[in-house]
Each structure stands twice: as structure tokens, then as C-alpha cells.
Structure 1
């Protein structure tokens, strides 16, 4: 599996930008910045992968450069590789933008190799990732077909590599250049050259004959599976099946301690735990709970699941239990308080966990700061146990005192009287009420987000005003006279202080 557009598709999805933007992802190189990926609009303007940014901007001065995130792309590929374990027990990360799977003996479970390839493409297409899939007898042949064949074949028949360029053999750029100078531009042309005369021109690591033998199966190229550690788990097997619901609470209490010890040994904290019960009739019952902070406190884990174990139906009897931490995060050792009381942040997190268990995850939410300088996009709501964990501190660097306590869901239009078109407001009408302004502070200018909003979006000038009755409002003027983006400026109220 190969994702040729993974860097730009990941950037587009995480940033929320429109695909028609002329943007290129660049990385630092020895002689300047090089393009590693670009949008379709940028490619239409002449940008190409591996091109210097200065050369691309000579063709298209409007090209916007964004720093590439190679570490983030590699982390995404690693997560996709683990997720691809649904199709094969042997999965290997293949470079920075691909994954190789050993599907010998498992393709029939998905309806054959062609059906398996179609399912892989459909799954990743649903994620927004362009994927090329090829099935071949060797890892080298599959790599070559996925990247260089115009029609990657998922049928599993004997692969014809003769028409592919020699770059399909995964050689170094220097070796490819040498082969091109010798007139050996395709795999078929390379196969017809005497082996001894060709071997003398290349180092052992860049020997194209060895690469050809690996692609054709003459030399082995085994895959190395991902090292995936099993989730922390504690199990309990009973000598006789039991159908008493009270036994499940006892089993939970017995399993919490061993699970906490395993979490401590691996320096992890649980964010989601699940109690699984196996019945003698083959049915499986399970309940789970999530935490807002990583924890390995056995008593806290028991309290979270104690109210839910009653939902497990014992049926004709349960003969085994397991307590599993299905979602973990790193958790180092911490210093306890001198007086033996838990930290206030930990107590708040435990309260949130208990409320979430009783009321439901969708009813317990917390505000979440977002990467935007526009007031209506700068924050939002997130499930209390979602994300990176509960953080009760105010975001650093934000002047919280200049923002209103109540922000309207959307700005509401108002009529404003002012001395000059670009001057401070003197009176405004909102919701059928007239407010004479006694004090005014501002403006605070907020520019539009050019990478998200259309080009005609106007800037805003915000004012903190107080009327004669002492009521304080946050209003803004959208646009200025002569900005070329519309007619007269419009006024809105966006929030209320106090």
C-alpha cells in the first residue's frame, strides 16, 4: 500500500484548508528549501516534488510555503500500519509513505486478492487518503507495481516488471543515474545484460542484479512485523461457573490491583478500562469507562466500573474475567502531598470521571482552546474525557480579561451612530434598545484568516464599550472605508461583559 499524497492530504485535513489553495509543503535542504508535497492548485502552477522553492515561486509568485511535518507524517504511517493489522498478522512500515502486508493464506478470508485490494482502497479512501494497492509474489514486485505501474494488478498473477523503469527496483539515485547513462532504462533491458560485466560497475549495496533477484523471488526479502505490545491486562479464571451478580464486583476488586501493578511496571496510566466476562455458553459481556487523566489508582478504577458491572448478564454462568486498559498514556511517578491528600487537579479529574460514568460522556463537556485568532473559532466544547486529558489551567499567553464572559453564538447586526466613518461609536441600537455609549476602549484589530476564508473577507475592529446604564458590550466594525471589499462598514455586537 502506497499513499503518494499523504503529506499534503494530512496537512489539508488537520488544518481544515480548502484544496484550491496554492500551497506547498517544504523542508530545509543543503541548498535551500525543497518542495515535498503540494496541492493540486500549486501543481497546476508548475510546482513539483523535489523542486526548489525559489524556482517554483519564479513560475508562480503566489505560492505559499508551509513547513512540512515529517515526524507527524511518520507517526500517521505507524498508526495506519497498526490499523492495517485487520488484514494481515504481518505488517511492516515501508519507508515514509507506505506499508507492506504478507497476505499469503489470508486473502481468501476477504473474497480473494482482488476483493482484498478493493476493500483496502475503499477503507483508506473513506479516510481521505489516496491509496495505490498492488498484490505480488514478492515484496519488491509489489513495491514496484504500486509506485510505477499504470495499472497495479491485484489479481495475483505472475507480475510483468519488464516495462517498468529501473527506479522501480529501489536503487539509490546514483545507481539509477549510472544505469540511465548506460542506456539501461527499464527492468527488461537490465535483465538482458550479462551479470558479471554489470556487477563490476556497482557497489554491493547498489548492485541492481541483487535488487532484480529480490523482486523476482530469486533472493529472499522477509518482512519484519511491527512490534506491538499487548495492552495491559489482568485475568481471573474461576474453578466453577458462577451466576451471582455480586461475584462480578468481587472479580473487579481482585483484578484492579494486578492491573495497576502492570501499568506501574510499564510506566503507563489508563485512560480507558474494560471489564470482560466470558460465559459458559460462549457469549461475552463487557463494560468500560474512560478517565480524564491517566491513572493507575486501583481504588479509582474500581469505583468507575462498580456502577456498571450490573449491566453484565451472567446467563448460565461466568467462568473467566479480564480487566484491560484499552487506552493508555505515559504516566511517570509523581510526588504525593506531604499531608497525604491528593492534588486538587487529581480530585477534580476523579469527580469528572464519576460524573461521566453516571451521566454519560455526551453530557459532561469542557471548553477547549483552538488554533485560531478569530473569537468564534478560538474555543469550542470537547468531551470531558476526550483529547489529551483534563487541563484546568488557562491557556498561556491569552489576555482573558479583555474578552467578554458571554460570547454570542453568532454576531448580531446593530445600528451605530458615530462622528466619523472611521471614528469610535457614540450610540448603537440592538434588540430594539438604544444604548448611549459613555465609555469606549479600542480598537483591537483582528485580521481574517486568509488560509480559511475567501479573499473578500473584511477585517474587524473590536471596541469594548459601556453605555450610560453601566452595561458593557463587545462590538466590532467589519471593514473600513475604501478597503475595496464591499460598501460601507457594518457593525455587530459579539459579546456581553459581566
Structure 2
């Protein structure tokens, strides 16, 4: 089993770098020379949210009141921060980071976590992968510190307090020199540990657990150094919970140079995806193409199918015209194809010795029509969960693909129903027997053969009291025409007078 590997990426100056990046993109005038700080509302007035290097050298501190920092450095220039925009940008960056692996989330307000287990070989190893991450984030204007470790706690500790590009394999030994603050504890707990003489993680590991358990057993997670230590060492599981689950069928292609047209690379991606689907015995019902742009943006298009498919040519036909919707920006260098919905699919024999199987013709026609005109433009009958035929078959659906889930019983009934059913005059041999002759629209029909009855009881949860049951017959007259008749009610059922006969449908 592959050992778990977690990458922690920390952007120490993310709000300021994002502010600079936005001004550059908008071609705004540069800020005045001198120290620069971003401010946001605090409980007692504006406080420092982030600052540049000049402000840091002038003694300005994050979290301090802006008025106090103005007194310390009168030349400082303040700009309004955008914490909500920073959070949204970081979450967007977490999606863009999936170019390296399927799982990534934003951590806090200034970092990312990636589960790269089993993905480093695609980038030439862990060291090359971390170097690629740093280079690409740097090209976007974000400086970062990166570390990889077997646990989230260890990766976070090294990215924030260790050396960048740390490749940790043994947390118990590698974490010992780091300060206890790297365990993601609250300030009061860190201060208490310092007073106890526990400044390094190694000092904490040397203390008998019983002594610390008595002191911190009832503390919350951010105030319990033992729980945080166990998470960092892998003694307690800490899953990386992404907002959306990674699709089970995923293929990706990295390009040597950015491109603007993905058409030439799509056939190979579809063949790879279909190979994975075939191996698992599944077919795709919804497919998503994602392109990762060099400017930190992503583009996505999706296509759905009426029935599970693993035909590369059919998949390619669904995307052939839609790739023009993608905005390439300055180009993209990574493409990913995912089957975000897949169902089990049987293998169908299609050689000359097998009987013809045209069951996929209708789904593919529906796919082509909906791909060109949209789901809302395609209508077809949709079976509805009801025993009463007119309720089960009168509904239509603009989602044409759902019509492929028709019940087998619907095939025994006529596709064309009369709405409403038309009353007919019937002659029959015995009171409860099949009809012998009926008159419909003033024209007599002598019945040559019949099949039935099929009894359908009223739906008590929907029909009003006194509704009578129906006995349906499939009949054929002497000329070969086929009809669907039903008798409403029985003799002596106490729900009305004599039974009545109705013609409800015509067979083709």
C-alpha cells in the first residue's frame, strides 16, 4: 500500500500579493513610495491585515491598530483589505492546484493542502513536484513555502516553521527541533507550554504523557498539545476532507508548452478514460473536461449521455463543438478528463456472428440532439410511478435521457393512449367474461382474439372514495386491428350501477 503523502503550501503574504496582482491586472497607478499596509475593521477601529517588506522593516505589525502604527511610522500608506475576496481567491487557487492531484483544499486563510499520494511519479518525483509548484505559484505572483509529509500536521509544521521544500518521511524524528507553536495550538496554550519549559516538540515528546494528560485532558483540540502531537505523528487519523469527492475515473495530460486549442489532444484522453472504464466494467453517464490555464484560472465543460458509454468516438463527438466555449486566456498546459458519473455496463458482443444490437442507437441520437439544441428543447414520454395508465404515461420530460429508464411493462401497452378514454358499447357472452363485440365511433368491431384481463385497482392514496377498479383486455378484431379496452367496475361491487367499457389505447 502506498504511504500517504500530504503537501502543505503556505503563502505568507497572500493578501498583499493578491492586492498587488489585481492592481497590475487592472493597470492601476502604483501606490506611493514608502511602507504599505492593508487594513480591515477591528473591534476598536481599523487594524493591520497585511503589509509589505518596507512596512515590516519600519516596525509595523499585523493585527496592531492602524492609528498606533501611523504614530510609529507617519509615512505608512494604508489601503483597504478584502478578506472575503482573499478567501474566494484561495479556494479558486485550490481548484487550480488539482493539476497536480485530485484532492486539494484551502487551509485557513493563507494556505493549501494537497493529498499527492501516488501522484508524484507523474512529475518526476517529490522534489521535482515541489519545485514545479513553487515555480508556478511564483509565476502567478505568490511567494510560498512548501513541505511534504505523511500527515497534515507534520506538513503544516514544516511549511510554516521549517525549511521550504522539506521532504519528511519520519515525523517522530524530523519534528523534534521545531517549536511547539508549529502544532497549530492557540496562543494561550503555547504561552503555558513555554512557562513549563517546553519550547520544542522534542521537549513535549520527552514528557510522560500521564502528566500532560491530567492537565489537558478536557481541553479542546486547538488547546490540547497531546492531540495535536498525535495527529502530527500519525497516531490519530486526520483525513483531508475535500468539498467534492474525487471522481473514480480520471485521466490527465501535461503539455510541454501552453496551447489554446485542445482538439488534437482529446482523442488520446478519451481512449485512456474508456480503457479505465472498460477495466472496471463501467460506462460514463456524465463527463467533464477541465483545462488548467497558466494564469491560475481553470475552464470546464460537461456533457451527459442517455446511456452508459465507453466509446471514445462517441464521447469525442459530444465535445467536438463545445470546446470552442473554453476561454484559453494565455494558454493552458494541463488537461483533465473525468467521468463524474459512471454506472455498471455490460460488455456487448458486436461481431458478425452475434445478433444485431441497436439498443444504443436511440441514446446516441438523443445525445446528439441534446448536445446541439440543449436539454430543454428535447421532449419524450417519461414513465411515471403509477398503476393508472394515463397517470403513468401522460407526463413528458425535457430531460430526454431519463426516458431510457422505461419500465418493461410499458412495452406491453400501447404507445398511443386516448385522452380521455372513449366509452364504447360492448357485447359479451358472460357477465365477467371478455368482450365479444364492441361499437366505437358508430363502427362495429368483432373481436377475433383477446388477452387478459389485467386488473388495475384504484390508488387509495390519490383517488376519491368510490373509484372503481379496471379490467384491461388487449383485443384484435377480424380485420387485424388491435385495441386496448377496459371494463370499469364489477357487477354488485357496491360502487355504482352496471360496469362501463372504455377504449383507452390503440396498438400500432
TMscore range, shorter length: 0.3 to 0.5
Compare CA radii of gyration and give the structure with the larger one. Answer: 2
Q: TM-score, normalised by structure 2?
A: 0.46
Please give the TM-score of this superposition, normalised by the length of structure 1.
0.47
